[in-house]
Amino acid sequence: MTSDLTILGLESTCDDTAAAIVRQADREAPEILASVVHGQTSLHADFGGVVPEIAARAHAEKLDICVEEALAASGLSLSEIDAIAVSAGPGLIGGVLSGVMCAKGLAAGLSVPLVGVNHLAGHALTPRLTDQVTFPYLMLLVSGGHCQFLIARGPEEFTRLGGTIDDAPGEAFDKTARLLGLPQPGGPSVQAKAEVGDPKRFRLPRPLLDRPGCDMSFSGLKTAILRARDAVVADKGGLTEQDRADLCAGFQAAVVDVLAEKTKRALVEYLAENPEAPLLAVAGGVAANSAIRAELETVCANLGVAFVAPPLALCTDNAAMIAYAGLERFRNGAQDDMTLVARPRWPLDKAAPALLGGGKKGAKS
């Protein structure tokens, strides 16, 4: 397919409702004409996590508004949209259903093709949207719901080299913040505290580093933080700001060490197979962490590997990545019809065994 394409994308798999419009002229770099994200953080703030029913209702209410805002920002009308792309999973099923139903309505009403997109493919293809990276490349997807190493070989062709067997790092950051009475989302608040803390005062475990391979585990770290906190409270009757900072620094240092070592192993495995394409890309909210980013850059530099980190707004959940992944699928000749189903689980690598554990997005994929 060689024509210009303008795609409207929808995203509603977790706690961000988003719509975006991406256009790609034939053989040109893709262009984000609009990208609107309405977060739901305040709706879930009282509950210590994302409440699926509240999320689904908010998505159903906000999707139309996001689409209207995206159209207004792009200056386009619906008649100029060539296809509708939608995150059809994996994620919290009520939210995914809201998006899929909205997309079906739009596609049917406009008589344009419908393209279901795997949310993880959206993240994994983002370096092609932002930096025109060519296949193959190694991807580290590290967010509140996911953590995995993927070799991206084509728009729908991914090989998973490893992933978390329990919590995602973002969940661990969020839980650590909760245990220490810091605001949500936990990543930025733990990072800020860690910057003024002593990472050596609390020596926390580095799970699974003693085992070969690229699988990771982060749930033990949360227990370790809980124990370390309780020990300080039992000893001194409470936590000082310095105690909090030192706990955050110890926790962040453990996550950095695990991610750096496992990234090194994933890169060695990837480079053995793809020496001609030395590139690591990251996506996901945790990729915003400056200590993690700096360490990954060092790992890459030491191995002579290029490092691509899309801008933060495109690392976290957004619909531009969904519109773009839909565009790639569509150019590849794929599309869906009204039988498109919303999927709570949807592994990108169909050959890899399912990951265990339930993340903030529900089941891991």
Could you list the residues that contact Zn ion (CB under 5 A)?
317
Residue 18 β-bridge partners: 11, 37
- Type of residue found at 175: K
Of the pair 23, 343, the CB lying nearest ligand KG4 is at 343
Among 105, 188, 220, 278, binds ligand KG4 (CB under 6 A): 188
Among 11, 215, 317, 336, binds ligand KG4 (CB under 6 A): 317
Q: Which two tokens stand for residue 87?
A: 């995150």
- Type of residue found at 302: N
Among 288, 300, 308, 348, binds ligand KG4 (CB under 6 A): 288
Q: 3-state class of 64 per DSSP?
A: helix
Q: How far is the CB of 334 from ligand KG4 (least distance, A)?
A: 24
Peptide bond into 278 cis (omega under 30): no
Q: Which does 316 bind (CB under 5 to 8 A by kind): Zn ion, ligand KG4, none?
A: ligand KG4
How many residues line the site for ligand KG4 (CB under 6 A)? 19
Q: How far is the CB of 350 from ligand KG4 (least distance, A)?
A: 21
Q: Which two tokens stand for residue 117?
A: 């997109």
> Does residue 208 bind ligand KG4 (CB under 6 A)?
no
Among 89, 285, 326, 347, binds ligand KG4 (CB under 6 A): 285
> Does residue 289 bind ligand KG4 (CB under 6 A)?
yes
CB 185 within 8 A of CB 197: no
Q: How far is the CB of 276 from ligand KG4 (least distance, A)?
A: 30
Q: 3-state class of 246 per DSSP?
A: helix
Q: How far is the CB of 204 from ligand KG4 (least distance, A)?
A: 16
DSSP for 102-115, please give it.
HHHHHHHHHT--EE
CB 171 within 8 A of CB 197: no
Of the pair 145, 250, the CB lying nearest Zn ion is at 145
Of the pair 7, 14, the CB lying nearest ligand KG4 is at 14
- Type of residue found at 242: Q
Of the pair 84, 142, the CB lying nearest Zn ion is at 142
Q: How far is the CB of 353 from Zn ion (least distance, A)?
A: 21
Q: Which of 134, 160, 117 is nearest to 22 (CA)?
A: 117
Cα(55)–Cα(40) distance, rounded to whole angstroms?
7
DSSP for 153-178, please give it.
EETTEEEEEEEBSS--HHHHHHHHHH
Cα(240)–Cα(244) distance, rounded to whole angstroms?
6
Of the pair 74, 316, the CB lying nearest ligand KG4 is at 316
Stretch near ligand KG4 under the rule CB under 6 A, chosen from 42-50, 110-118, 152-160, 184-192? 184-192
Tell me the backbone φ, ψ of residue 239, rounded to 5 degrees: -110, 130
CA 68 centroid distance within chain: 25
Among 34, 286, 308, 320, binds ligand KG4 (CB under 6 A): 286
| Angle subtended at Cα 15 by Cα 139 and Cα 84, rounded to the nearest 5 degrees | 70
> Does residue 99 bind ligand KG4 (CB under 6 A)?
no
Q: How far is the CB of 107 from ligand KG4 (least distance, A)?
A: 25
- Type of residue found at 353: P
Residues recorded for the chain: 365
> Does residue 145 bind ligand KG4 (CB under 6 A)?
yes
Cα(68)–Cα(70) distance, rounded to whole angstroms?
5
Stretch near ligand KG4 under the rule CB under 6 A, chosen from 128-136, 142-150, 210-218, 233-241? 142-150
Of the pair 106, 150, the CB lying nearest ligand KG4 is at 150
> Does residue 295 bind ligand KG4 (CB under 6 A)?
no
Of the pair 152, 254, the CB lying nearest Zn ion is at 152
- The footprint of ligand KG4 (CB under 6 A) covers 14, 143-145, 170, 173-174, 185-188, 191, 284-286, 288-289, 316-317
